Structure 1
Amino acid sequence: MQKTVKYIKKNYIWFLMVLPGTIWFLLFSYLPMFGNIIAFKKFRIDPDGFFASIKNSEWVGWDNFKYLFSTNDAFLITKNTILYNLVFIFLGLALSVGTAILLSELASKKLSKFYQTGMLFPHFLSWVIVSYFVFTFLSPDRGLFNNILEMFGVDPISWYSESKFWPYIIVFMSQWKGIGYGSIVYLAAIAGIDRTYYEAAMIDGASKWQQIRHVTLPQLKTLMIILTIMNVGRIFNSDFGLFFQVPRDSGALYPVTNVIDTFVYRGLMTLGDIGMSTAAGLYQATVGLVLVLITNYIVRKVDEESALF
């Protein structure tokens, strides 16, 4: 005990530095975990408050989970969620790394900073605002794309009724909004690579592509694997704004835009079933944890130094 107190006194400045982050995680990440019990109850609001509501709500066990997966759309929303996230993970990885490498190779640092700022800006835009930008392009009567089509004598397209276009639109908008933010970490990692590696490669006659292939990418490998493992943990989660706001909640597009998060939201708004919504969130978190553990285990078997833990 005395050693612990002595250690804390010696390093108190570091403990103070991490204290705000620790408090934030306790309040917003760990404390809400106790609310997962709602997933196993038929939640009803009690006039005596939240805790009384939990205590007095009927225990229904796994019924909320059964309802979530007994619907006709269960397979569709699961398939959409997984397939979109797989594309986002691997396409986002390739574009983020590629963008970071291109920015790092720019000779003009001022120009590099300008491009970084321009590419990062969409990340801070709300999906509500982005949805209006998209609508200006895809509006059935006054949209820019339909105006261009009419100039060439092509019939206008009812974009918000034609589901076949939206997988590409969803993927494009996701990468457009996230590529700038996703490349920051890789750009910082590239800046930290020892320049003597590149100097040695140039002395050996390596071209710029060979330097990227044999120096930059190997140095980024561990970071790429760790971030991919963390993204795999969110494979059952979706960006609600992307799938709800951008398609403008068009019912005709549900076959390609309905994912677990939007399905649960619509169910909550229609049925007011908080227990089912909590069950969906617990299911997503549990599957994500299992996937992270499995992915990390596989990586650790292949290359222990690249594993997350």
Structure 2
Amino acid sequence: MENPSPAAPPRSGKRPGFLREIARNRYSYLLILPAMVYVFIFSYATYPYLLIAFQRFNYQQGLLGSEWVGFDNFVFFFRSNAALLVTWNTIKLNVLFLIFVTFFAVALALLFNEIRNKFFIKLAQTTMIFPSFLSWIIVSYMMYSLFTMDFGIINQVIQAFGGEPVNWYSKAEAWPAILVGMKVWKEAGMASIIYLAAITGIDGSLYESAEIDGASRWQKMTRITLPLIAPTIAILTLLNLGKIFYGDFGMIYAIIGDNGVLYPTTDVIDTYVFRALRQIGDPSNAAAVGLFQSTVGLLLVFGANWLTRRFFKEGALY
């Protein structure tokens, strides 16, 4: 008769120590180390420099030797003639970006989920994702070839139908719609991947039961898919609300640049602060506006999360 195998040692229930955990999963921690270093340097290590917002910063005297001026730098921004305009433009454009990018990203994910031809879905996804890898500088040249007065493709089409060419770079009222269209074109495809991943995690038996009950594809989409990915939509919307006071500087400055004719509808806080920093050379004013943007974004996230937790608990961040 064979001896029974020795019993496994009883589990103590204690979690492994921090160093033992790192040693056990050293390759996983090594993989995330570059991201952790990046976040530490460009996020946490910069916190002490928020003091610049309350100083008249002098490069020679340094962070601790510069003169303290309290909230004077904030007053400089709020009393400027353009403060209300750039704040309104920032909120308006970001709200439009958030609404339309989310709508088209969800729509693309739903459409991709309904496509059954694997070759076509791979081709479509690749086509939709490709613009995300283009820099805004390249996109700005593409837009110039579309909207320039003399040789723009859009003006050539208008002239082909008997119309008069339009000087788009002097029509400020047209650019919010143009910028929203470019934002959707560039980012909706990549954003749709997250929603498509949420859709693929839905239990397939739900669709089978609905099909047995005679539900159409449209009914399965609206009664099953959309309600089950609603928490994902809510969470991503909450995260984007934190950036509602941040204009997409790379996009706006690459496309609009220093075209003052378009400022009434396209000038945002970030481009305004950049021009002020470039012309005045005072980093304290820029730091004050940046701190203002971050504070408002944080309050918006907390407030929106509180409302979401109260009325739609599944979509809250915490």
TM-score range, shorter chain: over 0.9
Q: Report the Cα offset of residue 10 of structure 1.
A: 4.7
Q: 2:269 aligns with which of 253, 260, 265?
A: 260
Contact 2:100 2:180 in 1 (8 A): no
Distance 1:160 1:99 in 2: 31
Instruction: Describe the SS at the equivalent of 1:11.
Output: helix
| 57 and 177 in structure 1: CA distance in 2 versus 1, 3 angstrom threshold | same
Aligned residues: 302
Q: Deviations over 1:3-25 (max 9, x none)?
A: 99943255323476345143332
Q: Deviations over 1:18-55 (max 9, x none)?
A: 45143332222111111111111111222xxxxx5212
Q: 2:238 aligns with which of 229, 232, 238?
A: 229
Distance 2:156 2:257 in 1: 21
1:49 aligns with: none
Contact 2:85 2:264 in 1 (8 A): yes
- TM-score normalized by the length of structure 2: 0.90
Cα-Cα RMSD: 1.7
Where does structure 1 lack aligned partners over 5 or more consecutive residues?
47-51
Q: Deviations over 1:92-119 (max 9, x none)?
A: 1111111011011111122111111111
Q: Report the Cα offset of residue 225 of structure 1.
A: 0.6
Opposite residue 171 of structure 1, the aligned amino acid is: V
Q: 2:45 aligns with which of 31, 51, 68?
A: 31
| 226 and 14 in structure 1: CA distance in 2 versus 1, 3 angstrom threshold | farther
Larger mean Cα displacement after TM superposition, 293-302 or 20-29: 20-29
Q: Deviations over 1:144-170 (max 9, x none)?
A: 112222223322111111112111101
Opposite residue 28 of structure 2, the aligned amino acid is: M
Distance 1:5 1:191 in 2: 33
Opposite residue 267 of structure 1, the aligned amino acid is: A
Q: 2:105 aligns with which of 77, 96, 104?
A: 96
List aligned pairs for 1:6-45, cutoff 5 A.
6-12=16-22, 13-14=24-25, 17-18=28-29, 20=33, 21-45=35-59
Find the structure with the greater CA-based Rg.
Answer: 2
Distance 1:264 1:85 in 2: 17
Distance 2:310 2:240 in 1: 19
1:158 and 2:170 correspond:
no
Q: 1:122 aligns with which of 122, 131, 134?
A: 131
Distance 1:159 1:141 in 2: 11
Contact 1:131 1:248 in 2 (8 A): no
Q: Report the Cα offset of residue 90 of structure 1.
A: 1.7
- TM-score normalized by the length of structure 1: 0.93
Distance 2:19 2:282 in 1: 50
1:291 and 2:300 correspond:
yes
- Following superposition, which runs of at least 4 residues in structure 1 exceed 6 angstroms of deviation? none
